[in-house]
């Protein structure tokens, strides 16, 4: 999985609860991305970030928040405003400038109790 | 924004046969086209990619072709094996476009099953 770790592997959320998914990379990559995967829908972009303390919304950012306090870390919070959070969440990263390949982590499966 | 269409959504082949998956894209500025393989419960792994200044690229049993004029690209797997069974995703991007940080636009995926 190319030096990207995601935790936990499985996460359960109760109604009205915020939960945070961890993504860490030791590849010294600049850009990091969060995707949501639902069956038959491919990967949809939630948020992305190029540098510390800067990030942009993707196509489905509503109900999610992120932070980028360190270059190697890009945690995703699924808030209670996200009404349908059950999905497989994938974090990715790439070098900025001269590198094209995005490397993915192993994913976190979020389930609602 | 970019729109990537991928077909077929499912593909079953006999071991040893070839498999072809096709994708089209809409943004003529896209110039990088990776293919990912995803096994059940795991993150996608890059298997091959191509830049728009190249028409074809091969890596052992895997090849990708690109028709920039028609805006379509295809993945070809020859001599398929049961371990090739997985979901395959195509994607398109412009890694040099600073405003989008080279984000990938994905197709919806193809479930490939190779029967022994």
Instruction: State the average pLDDT over residues B54-63.
Output: 93
Number of cross-chain residue pairs from A and B with Cβ atoms under 8 Å apart: 64
Q: Which residues of A touch B (CB under 8 A)?
A: 1, 4, 6, 31, 33, 40-45, 48-50, 56, 58, 90, 94, 96, 99-107, 109
pLDDT at site A19:
94
What is the dihedral angle through the alpha carbons of B51, B40, A75, A43, rounded to the nearest 10 degrees?
50
Strand order across the A4-7 sheet: A4-7, A19-25, A76-78, A64-66
What is the dihedral angle through the alpha carbons of B53, B59, B61, B66, rounded to the nearest 10 degrees?
-10
pLDDT at site B20:
98
pLDDT at site A45:
94
B94 vs A: CB within 8 A: no
Question: Distance between CA atoms of B65 and A35, rounded to whole angstroms?
Answer: 27
* Mean pLDDT over the full length of chain B: 93
8-state DSSP, A72: T
Query: Which residue on chain A is closest to B87 by alpha carbon?
Result: A42
Reported confidence tier of residue B54, pLDDT bands at 50, 70, 90: confident
Question: Distance between CA atoms of A86 and A109, rounded to whole angstroms?
Answer: 8
- Residues in chain A predicted with pLDDT less than 70, given as ranges, are 1-2, 97-99
**Model pLDDT for residues B74-88, shown as the tens digit of each residue:** 999 999 999 999 999
Between A50 and B109, the higher pLDDT residue? B109
Instruction: State the average pLDDT over residues B60-67.
Output: 96
Does residue B73 carry a pLDDT above 90?
Answer: yes
pLDDT at site A100:
75
Per the CB < 8 Å rule, is B103 touching A58?
yes
Per the CB < 8 Å rule, is A103 touching B107?
no
Mutation for testing the B interface, residue in A4, A94, A102, A110 having most B CBs under 10 Å: A102
pLDDT at site B98:
66
Per the CB < 8 Å rule, is B106 touching A42?
yes
Give how far A61 is from chain B: nearest CA, Å.
Answer: 15
């Amino acid at each position: 999985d190319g030096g990207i770790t995601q935790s936990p592997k499985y996460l359960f959320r109760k109604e009205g609860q915020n939960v945070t998914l961890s993504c860490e990379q030791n590849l010294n990559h600049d850009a990091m991305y969060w995707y949501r995967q639902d069956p038959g829908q491919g990967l949809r972009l939630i948020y992305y970030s190029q540098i510390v303390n800067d990030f942009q919304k993707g196509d489905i950012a509503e109900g999610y928040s992120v932070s980028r306090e360190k270059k190697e870390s890009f945690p995703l919070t699924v808030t209670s405003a996200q009404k349908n959070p059950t999905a497989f969440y994938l974090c990715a990263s790439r070098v900025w400038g001269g590198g094209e390949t995005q490397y993915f982590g192993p994913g976190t499966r979020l389930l609602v109790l | 924004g970019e729109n990537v269409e991928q077909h077929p959504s499912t593909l079953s082949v006999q071991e040893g046969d070839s498999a072809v998956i096709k994708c089209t894209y809409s943004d003529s500025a896209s110039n990088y086209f990776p293919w990912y393989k995803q096994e059940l419960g795991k993150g996608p792994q890059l298997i091959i990619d191509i830049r728009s200044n190249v028409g074809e690229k091969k890596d052992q049993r895997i090849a990708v072709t690109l028709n920039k004029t028609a805006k379509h690209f295809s993945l070809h797997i020859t001599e398929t094996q049961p371990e090739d069974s997985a979901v395959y995703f195509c994607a398109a991007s412009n890694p040099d476009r600073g405003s989008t940080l080279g984000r990938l636009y994905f197709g919806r995926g193809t479930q490939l099953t190779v029967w022994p």
